[in-house]
Structures are given as C-alpha cells and as structure tokens.
Amino acid sequence: MIRPQFDNSVPKAREFAFSDDDFDALRTLVKAHTGINLTPQKRELVYGRISRRLRALDLRSFRDYRQLLSDESGTEFAEFCNAITTNLTSFFRESHHFDYVRDHILVPRLNDGGNARRVRIWCAGCSSGEEPYSLAMTIRETLPDASGWDIRILATDLDSDVLARGERGIYPAERLREVSPARVNRFFRQTTLNGQPAYAAAPELRKLITFKQLNLMTEFPMRGPLDAIFCRNVVIYFDKDTQRDLFARMAQLQQPGAILFLGHSESLFKVSTDYALIGKTIYRRV
C-alpha cells in the first residue's frame, strides 16, 4: 500500500531553495511513475521528504537533485519514489476481508469434493507484508492439510525498502499486538530485530508468498486468472483517469465471480463497470 504522509505543520525556514519549477517537476515525475496525484497542498510534504535525500547525497539544491533524477534507471530514482511515499498497514486490517476469503473462496472449495483447488491472490501495494501474511494465516487455518492444493499469493509494491522487509518476514513485537496469542504461537518464531524482541514468520506462511517489486503504472507481468485482488488504500491518491485505467487492466486478470477488495475510503463509483459492489468495500467481477 503506497500513501503519501500528511504533514500539517507550519512551514519552517527552508534549508534549500524550493521553486515552483522544482515542485512541478517532482510532482510530474511522481504522477508519471507512481500514479500519485500530488496537489499543491502537498508541497511541504515533497520538500520535507526530498530535502532528506539532498542531505544524504550532499547536494546543495533541488536543481542538482532533479538533474540526478534524469537517469530514471539509476538507483536514486528508486530512492526518490521510496522517499515520497509512506506505508501504513497492520495484520488483519479490515478483518472482514479475510473472513470473506475464508467463507466465500476457501471453504466452498474445501467442500466441493476436491475440485478447483487452485487459488491465486494478488496483494497490490503489499507494503511491509502484513497483508499477505494475514492471508497466509487465513489459508493455513482454513486448510489444515494443504497438500494437493496449488496456492500462491503474489505480494507487490513499488517501494523496494518495505518490500524487502516483507520478504524477510521479521516484525517488531509491537507489530503483533493485535494478533491473537494463538496465531502468534502457531505462525511466528521469537527472534530479535536490532536488538529488540521480534517475531519471524514461520516457513509455512513464507512458502505461500512471492514478493516482487511492481509499479502499477506499468504493464502487469502476471496473466491470471486471479481469484482475488487486494488493492486496499492504494488508489485513494490517484486521479479518476488513473484509477479507471488501473481497474480496467485488473479486470482483465479476473474471470466473472472473482473478487476485488478496496480500502475503506475507496470506491469504484464512476470508475469501473467491470465490478459490482457486494459488501463493504468488496466487489465481484461481472
């Protein structure tokens, strides 16, 4: 999940000059490469985030930084995208979505006499991995014996830093405060992270998930069909045209009856006719 971080503080004296041209150039890059539409109200956010990169690189001006970004294949361009976005997530966030996966996708297949035991789920904007690991726990709880099942969770994000954390699968102890003790005991192993208590996801969860970096503005490498797509709290900062294009391409990866989950502040109203609302931020491919 990729979301700009709001900062409503009063602007302080600037360390670096930050012209209209600087802001317009940077937000144009952000829109083109991430889909995020940074309005003029986000100017201080952009300054605050990118000035950190200037300090780290020992640069003196935003103009110098913009010149560095002219190489879009360079390592700094990835750092730029990471810096301008932040990631808010938690285990079993909007828990009714995981209940729906259990009750309406997994259980019917468990009871169908052995057919249709292929499951494909995509977490688009997976952030640091709490969402796909929550799905993996749901799957393991619902299917105690997963032998004979072909189950894959694809977890993607643009931010390479949080994606690496998700792939490591190690979380500070406080991140699991809302996870039941029974789940922690079953699905995690005690460890340390930076000298502090932490938990590592068990192999039975990790083997279900593939983490890949993916920019949603580019062509999708997967083919589908996907039984479910989690695209939660991702498009809230996209303009309507970007949303329409994204969901039209997602619809091509799903067959009628497949499910799309959005975040609590998102809607497909006047965005897509490929999906019908069937529950709280739950849509079915028509």
Task: Kindly state the DSSP code that residue 256 receives in the 8-state scheme.
Answer: T
Spatial separation of the C-alpha atoms in residues 187 and 135, rounded to whole Å: 12
Continuous segment of H or E residues that includes residue 139: helix 130-142
Task: Classify each residue of 199-210 as buried b or exposed e, where b means 16 or more C-beta atoms within 10 Å of its C-beta.
Answer: bbbbeebbebbe
Instruction: Kindly state the helix (H) or strand (E) to which residue 248 belongs, with its residue range.
Output: helix 240-251
Catalytic residue among 49, 53, 120, 285: 49
Query: Looking at 157, 159, 227, 274, which residue is catalytic?
Result: 157
The residue assigned the tokens 């609590």 is 264
Identity of the residue numbered 70: S
* 157 assigned to active site: yes
Give the Cα separation of 43 and 8 in Å (integer). 11
**Helices then strands, each counted (H, E), the chain:** 11, 10
Q: Helices 160-168 and 130-142: crossing angle, nearest 10°?
A: 30
- Minimal CA–CA distance to 157: which of 167, 148, 149? 167
Distance (Å, whole) CA 96 – CA 85: 27
The CA–CA distances, whole Å, from 65 to 29, 32, 62 equal 13, 18, 5
CA distance 26 to 38: 9
Separation between Cα atoms, residue 93 and residue 226, nearest integer Å: 21
Catalytic status, residue 49: yes
> Can you read off the two tokens belonging to residue 249?
């391409």
CB distance 73 to 25 below 8 Å: no
The catalytic residue positions are: 49, 157
